[in-house]
Structure 1
Amino acid sequence: MDTMNILSGGAAQGLVRGLAEAFRAQTGFAIDGEFSAVGAMADKLRAGAPADLVILTQALVAKLAEEKLVILPSIADVGRVETALAVRSRDPRVTVKTEADLREVLRAADAIFVPDITASTAGRHVAKVLDQLGIAYEVTSRLKIFPDGATAMRDLAASPAQRPIGCTQATEIIATDGIALSGSLPPGCELVTMYTTGVTMRAAHPKEAAALVTLLAGADQRELRRRVGFAS
Structure 2
Amino acid sequence: MSTLNILSGGAAEGLVASLTPAFKALTGFDIAGEFGAVGAMADKLRKGTPADIIILTAALVAKLAEEKLVVATSIADVGLVETALAVRTGDPQAVVKDAADLREALLASDAIFVPDTKASTAGIHIANVLQHLGIADAVATRLKIFPNGATAMRKLAASEARRPLGCTQSTEIISTQGVTLSGSLPPGCELATMYTAGITAAAAHPQQAQHLIDLLSGAGQHEQRQHAGFINGRRQAPT
Deviations 1:119-158 (A, max 9, x none): 0000000000000000000000000000000000000000
Verify: 1:58 aligned to 2:58, yes or no: yes
1:91 aligns with 2:75: no
Aligned match of 1:162: 162
- 1:21 paired to 2:25: no
Alpha-carbon distance, 1:90 to partner: 1.4
CA-to-partner distance for each residue in 1:191-213, whole Å, 9 max, x for gaps?
Answer: 00000000000001011001111
Which structure 2 residues correspond to residues 50-199 of structure 1 after superposition, within 5 A? Answer: 50-199=50-199
How far apart, in 1, do the equivalents of 2:98 and 2:205 lie?
48
Letter matched to residue 192 of structure 2: V
Partners of 2:206 and 2:96 in 1: how far apart?
45
How far has the Cα of 1:170 moved from its partner? Answer: 0.1
Name the aligned partner's letter for residue 82 of structure 1. Answer: E
4+ runs of 1 displaced by more than 6 Å?
none
> SS at the partner of 1:207?
helix
Aligned equivalents of 1:46, 1:155: Cα separation in 2? 30
Other-structure match for 2:235? none
TM-score by length of 2: 0.97
Task: Report the Cα offset of residue 95 of structure 1.
Answer: 1.2
Unaligned runs of 5+ in 1: none
Q: For residue 15 of structure 2, what is the amino acid of its counterpart?
A: L
SS in 2 for 1:194: strand
TM, length-normalised to structure 1: 1.00
Distance 2:134 2:208 in 1: 48
Deviations 1:67-86 (A, max 9, x none): 00000010000000000000
1:92 CA displacement? 0.5
Residue 77 of structure 2 aligns to a residue in which SS?
Answer: strand
Separation of aligned partners in 2, 1:161 and 1:33:
33
Secondary structure of the residue aligned to 2:154 is helix
The whole-number CA distance in structure 1 between the counterparts of 2:212 and 2:130 is 37
Distance in 2, Cα, partners of 1:227 & 1:46: 32
Report how far residue 94 of structure 1 moved: 1.0
Tell me which residue corresponds to 1:30: 30
What is the alpha-carbon root mean square deviation over aligned residues? 0.4
Residue type of the partner of 1:211? H
The number of residues matched between the two structures is: 232
Counterpart code for 2:190? E
